[in-house]
Structure 1
Amino acid sequence: MARDLTAAETAQRSIIKKYRRVLWNPFIAAVKRYELISPGDRIAVCISGGKDSMLLAKLMQELQNHTVAPFELAFLVMDPGYRRENREQIESNAKLLDIPVTIFESDIFDVTAVVEKNPCYLCARMRRGTLYSRARELGCNKIALGHHFNDVIETTLMGLLYGSQIQAMLPKLHSKNFPGMELIRPLYCVHEEDIIAWKNYNHLEFIQCACRLTENRTVEEDGASNSKRQEMKELISRLRKINPNVEKSIFQAIHGVQLDTMVGYKAGGVLHSFLDEYEKRGQPR
């Protein structure tokens, strides 16, 4: 008589069975297309406690179990000052899903709570730096974050509409302050709606926004607060009714920017103008 599967086994199996086309395949596609993982890597999978990072942990475990190019994993949870119930839920879910997390504490929420200007920006920078530092202490050369396809699209739109810049979110980048360390985003091609479907199918409950500055705001089912990012979600939803391929179009656009049509662009922090090469382009070849 076959035994019943554990919650971890059921969640793992659903990734490669029921949700193989929409979770596993795009995850593998991103890993290969953007060359995110190399043999011998030791990767710190950074877990915030939300649906995205928890799924990322399970995908990375599955890949590690089947790859022919061995790499190591550490599952890192930073507690920046969560309320007790949020901390307990993260620990409970990690145990339920068989993710061997390493938890460490910081006072980032306390520090940013007294900052009046751009506390979210400061919090993000401090959290990123702290994760890099702890990952390096654990012998890791990469950190993996749970940013997904929709984060990429929404970030691009926010930069265009509110930041006066055409700027995308890269699938990987070198750390400027921690030489030899890289950040990778293996969920780069995975859609948020499919992550939510996986979560609901497995009857999983994750923390949403655990930030003490924003936790009292209205929260939607997918965990997005009443913010500019939520505004982008709603905008894309409206645009999708007119053009069902709008997200795909934006995603493809950031992979094929036509610099020859740009009036100006920045590279390496240096601003370039189309006038720099204008006369040269007009000369006969």
Structure 2
Amino acid sequence: MEKRVEIERSIIKKYKKPIWHRFIGACKDYQLVQAGDVIAVCISGGKDSFLLAKCMQHLARHSDVPFEVKFLCMDPGYRAENRALIEENAEKMGIPLHIFETDIFDSVANVTQSPCYLCARMRRGHLYKNAQALGCNKIALGHHFDDVIETALMSMIWGAELKTMLPKLHSTNYPGMELIRPLYLVREADILAWKRYNDLRFLQCACRFTEQDESEASAGHGARGQTKELVRLLRQMNPKADINIFHSLHNANLNMLPGYTLDGKLHSFLDEYDS
């Protein structure tokens, strides 16, 4: 059987419940895909974005809701071998990539304060701009369930704020554009299992300065890696800890919070305390 077909079948057969059903669940629960959408699936070269590409491709072929997908990949200055790996995986998986080039890596090479933050903002802007040029009204990113809860914990521990990634949001700089995250309910462990089952190798990080394939990646580095380890320890205490964190983000009880921010305005429980 052709490799592309094997990969597609594994998503809707072997990993139907942990991947396909949760992907479809997020699309329905958060109303991510509407009739007439033209969605740019943004591919970084990692496992998450390539899985998302295959899920969106299959959905577009078989959905009762007519929409179109395009596959957008930005080369911010990859080494030749990493660019080649992305192109090889796209061909193997039957994904028609539209690749455009930027000099983002050169632009942030000498930045010492928050280079990753600056790089991410620049990448997002280029993706919106090029997606819009292709006639798209949405971009789809490969963030998953673990990213959501890790971001919430990182915001609390390092940012003194409770917030996380939303399943979708409107762009403030590109009117009419929207960002969606269809893997919002899919666990990273299941994505890794899918990758191993199909004997696939992807880039671990898109950054020229840290890029490596997943077989070489070491866990526990940086705030994200440390938070992953924290979640692992919490699961040992309570196997449902990550699920409860996720659900708590959907069930915030504002009556029992001393303060919250809405539309940029800070509110305190004292505002209505004596009323």
State if a TM-score over 0.5 links the two structures: yes
SS in 2 for 1:56: helix
Query: Which residue in the other structure is 1:270 paired with?
Result: 265
Question: Residue type matched to 2:171 in 1?
Answer: S
1:220 CA displacement? 6.9
1:240 CA displacement? 0.8
CA distance in 1, matches of 2:219, 2:4: 26
Query: Which residue in the other structure is 1:104 paired with?
Result: 100
TM (norm. structure 2) is 0.97
Select the residue among 175, 190, 200 that pairs with 1:179: 175
User: Cα deviations across residues 125-145 of structure 1 (Å, max 9, x unaligned)?
Assistant: 000011000000000000000
Structure with higher Rg: it is 1
Select the residue among 255, 258, 262 that pairs with 2:253: 258
Query: Which residue in the other structure is 1:54 paired with?
Result: 50
User: Cα deviations across residues 224-251 of structure 1 (Å, max 9, x unaligned)?
Assistant: 6711111011111111111000000000
Query: Which residue in the other structure is 1:40 paired with?
Result: 36
Runs of 4+ in 1 over 3 A off after TM superposition: 218-225
What is the alpha-carbon root mean square deviation over aligned residues?
A: 1.5
SS in 1 for 2:44: coil
Query: Which residue in the other structure is 2:125 paired with?
Result: 129
* Structure-2 change in CA distance of 1:225 and 1:53 (3 Å): farther
CA distance in 1, matches of 2:214, 2:140: 26
CA distance in 1, matches of 2:209, 2:273: 49
**Deviation larger for 205-214 or 87-96:** 205-214
1:209 CA displacement? 1.3
1:116 CA displacement? 1.3
Question: Residue type matched to 1:267 in 2?
Answer: L
CA distance in 2, matches of 1:114, 1:79: 19
* Structure-2 change in CA distance of 1:223 and 1:48 (3 Å): farther
Query: Which residue in the other structure is 1:226 paired with?
Result: 221
Aligned-residue sequence identity (percent) comes to 58
CA distance in 2, matches of 1:29, 1:221: 33
TM (norm. structure 1) is 0.94
Select the residue among 236, 241, 253 that pairs with 2:236: 241
Query: Which residue in the other structure is 2:90 paired with?
Result: 94
Aligned: 1:161 with 2:173: no
* Structure-2 change in CA distance of 1:102 and 1:190 (3 Å): same
Question: Residue type matched to 1:231 in 2?
Answer: Q
Residue ranges of structure 2 left out of the alignment (5+ in a row):
none
Residue ranges of structure 1 left out of the alignment (5+ in a row):
281-285
